[in-house]
Structure 1
């Protein structure tokens, strides 16, 4: 059976259940515990009293804390108010206008100087004023002087735009020519501090200083223009005269009343119509079109004739502001000097032609004399060889008979003397042939070096053993182009000399292949040759040992080697030093590079092709005879020579002729004054780098290093014509030797 009817509504069922629960609770409370109700009530009263006491104590403690907090809050409020008063007092003492806006851009506080110059908005300044409203008030203030073309709304818009930056500083112009400098700075919490500083005095001082400097600059420009030796006039973008100097009026003969500020270019040009003639460059119409082109003009340069005698050079250039400046220079003296130089040049050219013809005649005469000498030496040598041969036969027949030892020794010496004389005549005959232009040609053809050097070294080995030496030859399979007879004579003389002058040790003959050439080297362990003697040993009858007998060499072997190598075009080099032996080197082209049966000119020392090159040489030599000899030799090679005896006259000559020579030949010691190297440095600073050779008898290392540092050639005295010819050849070919 159910306590509630299931058909009842939910509300009715809940109501019945509540009544049942209430009845049950009353039964429980008053059913079985009626006997202990008094005790329970007493216990409950005691518990309530305890809880009331605890709550009372807690409330008292809370009240104490509240009183303490109120006391601290009052003290903090007093301190805050004191700080505010101190801050207000502090910002009030600031000489600038000060305002503080909070992070929401609302005015917090400001001093009395803030916006003091904007008297019509001071009443609107109060805490809580929005920054935008503050800017709008300022923009419409009657005390704000807006820039030209600027409206109040536009100014306020730009002001609010700059407010977005963390740091801002700008100047604001007020009426009555007053200025404020406004600066904004962000605080750490996002607020804004605005400072207003009166900078009127600074602006006015700066303006006065700028005007003063502008006036001073104008005076300096005027003084500079008047100081120039050129006439100068300046026009603006409308071709109106804005500046000029006194020289322009003097050169163009313009009266002062014509040169006025604002005068037009066209009127000035019209005033000169009857006085000037355009001679070189653009004409009158072209000049006028250039001036009125209406755009930045490019530079122009031309010449005019003023009157009958004066020549003026005019130069014009545009300026960035579309104006232009014109300068006028008197070049009458320069043009007259150029005319005179042209006349002098014609005279010099005629003199050069005459001098060249004289030199050609002298050269032809010298060549004829040399040819006659060579023919005489050849004929005399041939005639002398006949009786010498007969005498040797007679002495040989006497030596075959029984003779006393004393007579046999005399005959032996006589035979040796005749042999030496025969060798001398043979050598003279070879030299005369090599020096002669007539009757000699070379049979240049492929030659196997081993076919020539092998037999030569076999023959020389006997002589080397007699001297207690070792002769060693390194075989080679190289084939070269040369004349086999003269090449054999060259190597034979080199090997004989090496054996003759080597006391102990050995002689080595070998071949090195270098690019398209073969270099034959003859090494010895002899006494060596000092640097100053290395040129002298190639002279005729020159022997370094004055005590040497004729049997130890006649002094002609190396002279024949040098001439034969020169005529064949084989490079001859020497590497030697005292007590360190010597090495003679002959460089021969590999087979296929030379032409057979080649007729070689005798004057191989003269640079090939220089007559066509037409080089101009500045020769500075203080010794008259040396200078004259060098001039004659160079001119015989087709070189044009400009002579000078010292540095001063050389520089003066170059300046007068206005000429840049092709190369320089300078003596190192030029007497009192600058040396040759000093003169080279001065010419280099004026004309730029030029090929140069220093001629000197000074063989010190200091001079060599100085020449090497300046990149100039050093030609020692006595001057070797072959080295000089090679240097000129390098310059004519455009070589980088210098």
Structure 2
């Protein structure tokens, strides 16, 4: 129970408390017996007054906070209402139809332009409307122009499927040829903003531009047809004429009455069958079947003859829309040229046949002469070696008996001369054997150690006499070759290196590359210039003119070249003046060595005779090399047209009026032009032909130039096996073309 009424004002409450305090004081003063109890009541009253004062302060603060909150809420409501009004005003100013749906696809708000073109749906567009309801009302609007064959339910279902996409954009037709573009945009809280934009003007402008473009394309097609040298007419899917040019009437001799818009293809077909002649009866049947087909037709081509001397090439092709195109070309001049070319080819074939027979006769005579020479050399060598051996024995006997120094010197020179003659006869005999077609080789697996070991002792003595260092590196490889001839090859290469090396060393080793063992003989001699690298393999040719007969006969490298060619072992050379030389011989690697087995090899030529009958143009300004290559290619059955420079080669081709099957061109042809330039000139005149450039130039620039032209590069000295592979490839290309 409270001593004061809480509903009273503070002044009234204070007044009551004061009166209570006075009454209590008076009671204490007038009641001494009860002074203790009175004081306790006074204390309780004072405590009660303090609590009342605290509660009063708390109540006042609470009331202040309540008044302040009410004021803030009122201000917030005012601001929210102002923002809503501003948003509504802003949306209303948008020139497009605008609607906002929340995350539950419920309409939140829209402007007056939204669905304005669908007037019978505006009254239903209120906040709270579901998106599906909005779509359903628009689909049933009488102002919506549905696509042909689409019901309102199907349109609504398709619209709801679009709504599930992340980005929605499509056009809707309404009213009298008017268009709205509808787009949807997702909000951050999963809602949807729908915009409706009037694009009628844009669509109408695009339609006008398409019509203009179509008219322009029609005029361009018409102008193109009129300027074609061919006669062209185009038919639609109903075989009715829709486009043509004047040339078709001229070529087929058709009047304007027959060529008009909508003319039937059957009339043209009747004209073709009655007044023109098919070159082949099968073409007529094929053409009739093609004309009777329905749908997309494949291409067909045939020839017609008009007035017995005019040849027309006709081509027809179907088009995707079911129509087809019919073109006609006058090929009379081409057919006449082909006829004349056939006559020229027949005449050239006759000439080539006569020339071939002459060449075969000459080749047979040369082969008989060569065989006779080989037999003579073999017989003469055998008869000469016996008296030379006897003379050497007599000279040796005299040397033992002669004590005069002057006489001994004369005998030494005589013996040296006889030895040189014997070596010359041996070398000539070897060359004669190598050029013989009946030579038998002992081809078998041979350990290279068996070839190197005997030569090391023999060659070290020769090197020591000249003060040179000779190093022969052992090899454990086994190769397939003739051991006797291969020993002679390595012996000649090492002896040649020692002979021409004045100081330094000679190194013999083997380098393995895949399935090949390459024997390399290096020296520190004077080197060989590029222009001389092909000449050193010629008989009796020595670059050191100061050398005497005791320094070599000039047949060692000739024997090496012939032996490697007959054995099928590629021979290579690297040399640079002032730095030395390296001769290389490549042999096939096999397993362990086996017992000897004699093998008879035929003439040295590439495997197969596919090259026979080819015609090759050879341009080489060095007469001896040109002759050597000519003889080699003619032995393969290749007919050779020789020329020493570019100018004479071009004149010769013009005079003969024929196109060779292949070109073999030296790179250095004098001041006129190089081999690559001559290749470009011939290509410009006759088209691209298989070509190989022959050169001692091993520079990177020449290799890149040949690679760019896609032609072969054969380094000098020419490897007959690489040359043979080149003509094999040419022959395969000619056979494939035929």
TM range (shorter): 0.7 to 0.9
Aligned pairs for 1:138-287 within 5 A: 138-152=138-152, 154-156=154-156, 158-159=158-159, 162=162, 168-185=168-185, 187=187, 193-279=193-279, 283-287=283-287
Aligned pairs for 1:291-690 within 5 A: 291-371=291-371, 405-432=405-432, 434-435=434-435, 441-442=439-440, 444=442, 466-467=465-466, 493-494=492-493, 496-503=495-502, 529=528, 532-567=531-566, 572-573=571-572, 578-580=578-580, 585=585, 587=587, 596=598, 598=600, 600-601=602-603, 604=604, 606-607=605-606, 609-610=608-609, 612-614=610-612, 616-619=614-617, 621=619, 634-641=633-640, 661=661, 663-669=662-668, 675-677=674-676
Structure 2 CA distance for aligned equivalents of residues 135 and 83 of structure 1: 29
Residue 270 of structure 1 and its aligned partner are, at CA, apart by: 2.1
1:231-286: CA deviation from partner (whole Å, max 9, x where unpaired): 33333333333333443333333333433333333333123221333435964454
Aligned to 1:272, what secondary structure does the other structure show? helix
Structure 2 CA distance for aligned equivalents of residues 153 and 124 of structure 1: 19
Kept after mapping to 2: 8 A contact 1:691/1:731: no
Aligned to 1:693, what secondary structure does the other structure show? strand
Aligned to 1:312, what secondary structure does the other structure show? strand
Choose 478-487 or 335-344, whichever is displaced more.
Answer: 478-487
Structure 1 CA distance for aligned equivalents of residues 128 and 392 of structure 2: 143
Cα distance change of structure 1 residues 472 and 161 upon mapping to structure 2, 3 Å threshold: closer
Kept after mapping to 2: 8 A contact 1:481/1:593: no
> What is the TM-score normalised by the length of structure 1?
0.73
| Structure 2 spans left out of the alignment, 5+ residues | 1-33, 734-738
Cα distance change of structure 1 residues 93 and 347 upon mapping to structure 2, 3 Å threshold: same
Structure 1 CA distance for aligned equivalents of residues 47 and 624 of structure 2: 146
Cα distance change of structure 1 residues 634 and 114 upon mapping to structure 2, 3 Å threshold: same
Give the equivalent residue in structure 2 for 1:3.
Answer: none
Aligned pairs for 1:1-40 within 5 A: none
Residue 69 of structure 1 and its aligned partner are, at CA, apart by: 5.4
Cα distance change of structure 1 residues 403 and 327 upon mapping to structure 2, 3 Å threshold: same
Residue 355 of structure 1 and its aligned partner are, at CA, apart by: 0.2
Choose 624-633 or 328-337, whichever is displaced more.
Answer: 624-633
Cα distance change of structure 1 residues 571 and 702 upon mapping to structure 2, 3 Å threshold: closer
Aligned to 1:217, what secondary structure does the other structure show? helix
Residue 356 of structure 1 and its aligned partner are, at CA, apart by: 0.8
Choose 586-595 or 636-645, whichever is displaced more.
Answer: 586-595
Kept after mapping to 1: 8 A contact 2:480/2:587: no
Structure 1 CA distance for aligned equivalents of residues 586 and 132 of structure 2: 101
Cα distance change of structure 1 residues 213 and 673 upon mapping to structure 2, 3 Å threshold: farther
Kept after mapping to 1: 8 A contact 2:663/2:689: yes
Give the RMSD, CA atoms, in angstroms: 5.4
Residue 353 of structure 1 and its aligned partner are, at CA, apart by: 1.1
Structure 2 CA distance for aligned equivalents of residues 709 and 600 of structure 1: 38
Structure 1 CA distance for aligned equivalents of residues 652 and 228 of structure 2: 27
Aligned to 1:273, what secondary structure does the other structure show? helix
Give the equivalent residue in structure 1 for 2:93.
Answer: 93
Cα distance change of structure 1 residues 652 and 88 upon mapping to structure 2, 3 Å threshold: farther
Aligned to 1:255, what secondary structure does the other structure show? coil
Kept after mapping to 2: 8 A contact 1:620/1:646: no
Structure 2 CA distance for aligned equivalents of residues 652 and 242 of structure 1: 55
Residue 144 of structure 1 and its aligned partner are, at CA, apart by: 3.7
Kept after mapping to 1: 8 A contact 2:614/2:731: no
Give the equivalent residue in structure 2 for 1:692.
Answer: 691
Kept after mapping to 1: 8 A contact 2:99/2:111: yes
Structure 2 CA distance for aligned equivalents of residues 691 and 646 of structure 1: 17
Structure 1 CA distance for aligned equivalents of residues 164 and 551 of structure 2: 108
Residue 551 of structure 1 and its aligned partner are, at CA, apart by: 2.2
Kept after mapping to 2: 8 A contact 1:237/1:294: no
Cα distance change of structure 1 residues 424 and 327 upon mapping to structure 2, 3 Å threshold: same
Structure 2 CA distance for aligned equivalents of residues 311 and 688 of structure 1: 27
Structure 1 CA distance for aligned equivalents of residues 352 and 622 of structure 2: 20
Cα distance change of structure 1 residues 350 and 213 upon mapping to structure 2, 3 Å threshold: same
Structure 2 CA distance for aligned equivalents of residues 515 and 98 of structure 1: 80
Residue 358 of structure 1 and its aligned partner are, at CA, apart by: 0.9
Aligned pairs for 1:28-67 within 5 A: none
Residue 212 of structure 1 and its aligned partner are, at CA, apart by: 1.3
Structure 2 CA distance for aligned equivalents of residues 411 and 627 of structure 1: 41
Cα distance change of structure 1 residues 539 and 257 upon mapping to structure 2, 3 Å threshold: same
Structure 1 CA distance for aligned equivalents of residues 164 and 664 of structure 2: 77
Structure 2 CA distance for aligned equivalents of residues 166 and 725 of structure 1: 70
Kept after mapping to 1: 8 A contact 2:616/2:660: no
Structure 2 CA distance for aligned equivalents of residues 649 and 555 of structure 1: 34
Choose 310-319 or 576-585, whichever is displaced more.
Answer: 576-585
Residue 448 of structure 1 and its aligned partner are, at CA, apart by: 7.5
Aligned to 2:273, what secondary structure does the other structure show? coil
Cα distance change of structure 1 residues 90 and 653 upon mapping to structure 2, 3 Å threshold: farther
Kept after mapping to 2: 8 A contact 1:356/1:635: no
Residue 209 of structure 1 and its aligned partner are, at CA, apart by: 1.4
Kept after mapping to 1: 8 A contact 2:187/2:193: yes
1:285-326: CA deviation from partner (whole Å, max 9, x where unpaired): 543443453333333333333442333333333333333334
Kept after mapping to 1: 8 A contact 2:480/2:588: yes
Structure 2 CA distance for aligned equivalents of residues 90 and 636 of structure 1: 100
Aligned to 1:335, what secondary structure does the other structure show? helix
Structure 2 CA distance for aligned equivalents of residues 397 and 346 of structure 1: 75
Cα distance change of structure 1 residues 503 and 706 upon mapping to structure 2, 3 Å threshold: same
Kept after mapping to 1: 8 A contact 2:240/2:264: yes
Choose 551-560 or 370-379, whichever is displaced more.
Answer: 370-379
Cα distance change of structure 1 residues 60 and 452 upon mapping to structure 2, 3 Å threshold: closer
1:22-80: CA deviation from partner (whole Å, max 9, x where unpaired): xxxxxxxxxxxxx9xx99xx999999999999999888777766665555555455444
1:465-505: CA deviation from partner (whole Å, max 9, x where unpaired): 55556777788999988777766655654555455445566
| Structure 1 spans left out of the alignment, 5+ residues | 1-34
Structure 1 CA distance for aligned equivalents of residues 541 and 626 of structure 2: 27
Kept after mapping to 1: 8 A contact 2:611/2:728: no
